[in-house]
Amino acid sequence: MDGGGHYNPRTVEEVFRDFKGRRAAMIKALTTDVEEFYRQCDPDKENLCLYGYPTEQWEVNLPAEEVPPELPEPALGINFARDGMQEKDWLTLVAVHSDAWLIAVAFYFGARFGFDRADRKRLFTMINDLPTIFEVVTGTAKKQSKEKSSVSNHTNSKSKSSSKGRGSESVKQTKQAKEEDEGAEEYEEEHGETLCGACGELYAADEFWICCDICERWFHGKCVKITPARAEHIKQYKCPTCSNKRARP
């Protein structure tokens, strides 16, 4: 079962691109689309699986009927455990099984198209450079809990430093330029390893990011549909996962 028809990546780069697309889809299901994912995993339905597709789309559906299936199948019956566990623990369990499935699919393609030892090693290295779905979902990929206070302290210190030195205009401008350069370097060092809680991609200085005031994870504005202008009017930002944390029936 695969969205958008059959697709058989044949090179290491193509398999990795396939892996990234499927991974992004499953992260989306378990983070930004978690409410809809939860709803679709009805325990009263038959055995259900979470599928991620190269197009970055996800689907909850029954397993493939053909035996053996064209591709390795994801964990079966994820819906049965939904109401018997805490939501966070259930999502973590699905994340772990999703990681295992992604690896299985990637190395299935590697075996099918005759990747040698060097190709397999290169593929695994490329995959291993990305955080796992488990790490993204649980927020353990990086030490993100301290980053919000770091940004706040950095912003305050930068504001204070830029207000100092009221001497000659030329000295002031030189000092400010130096402080801004140092501040930019410090900011890059602090956030260079920050991961988006939705897509799992690394921080980039030229993109707008926003931090959840509840779980303190960072997100691309585009991933959670928040613009800089809109963020100015938000007193307390809650990411989609935290917004959806409420008592289940």
- Given pLDDT bands bounded at 50, 70 and 90, which one contains residue 34? very high
CA atoms of 94 and 96, how far apart (whole Å) = 6
- Evaluate if pTM is beyond 0.75: no
Q: What is the pLDDT of residue 11?
A: 94
Q: What is the pLDDT of residue 129?
A: 93
Higher-pLDDT residue of 185, 116 = 116
Cis peptide before 240 (omega within 30 of 0): no
CA 89 to chain centroid, in Å, comes to 17
Span 27-46, average pLDDT: 95
> Could you report the per-residue pLDDT of 202-235, keeping only the tens digit for each?
877 778 889 998 888 888 888 888 888 888 888 8
Q: What are phi and psi of 104, to 5 degrees?
A: -60, -45
Task: Please report the domains of the chain, with CATH numbers, ordered by start residue.
Answer: 12-146 (no CATH), 194-248 (3.30.40.10)
Mean pLDDT is lowest, of 9-18, 64-73, 190-199, for 190-199
Q: What is the pLDDT of residue 178?
A: 52
Mean pLDDT is lowest, of 8-12, 138-142, 208-212, for 138-142
Q: Is 60 exceeded by the pLDDT of residue 165?
A: no
For the chain, the average pLDDT equals: 80
Q: Is 90 exceeded by the pLDDT of residue 44?
A: yes
Residue 196, H or E segment = none
Q: Is 60 exceeded by the pLDDT of residue 31?
A: yes
* C-beta of residue 144 within 8 angstroms of C-beta of residue 217: yes
Q: What is the pLDDT of residue 70?
A: 86
Question: Which DSSP string corresponds to 33-90?
Answer: THHHHHHH--TTSS--EEEE-TTS-EEEEPPPSSSS-SS----S-GGGGGGGS-HHHH
3-state secondary structure of 210: strand
The amino acid at residue 225 is K
> Could you report the per-residue pLDDT of 77-133, keeping only the tens digit for each?
999 999 999 999 999 999 999 999 999 999 999 999 999 999 999 999 999 999 999
- In the chain, the percentage of residues whose pLDDT exceeds 70 is 73
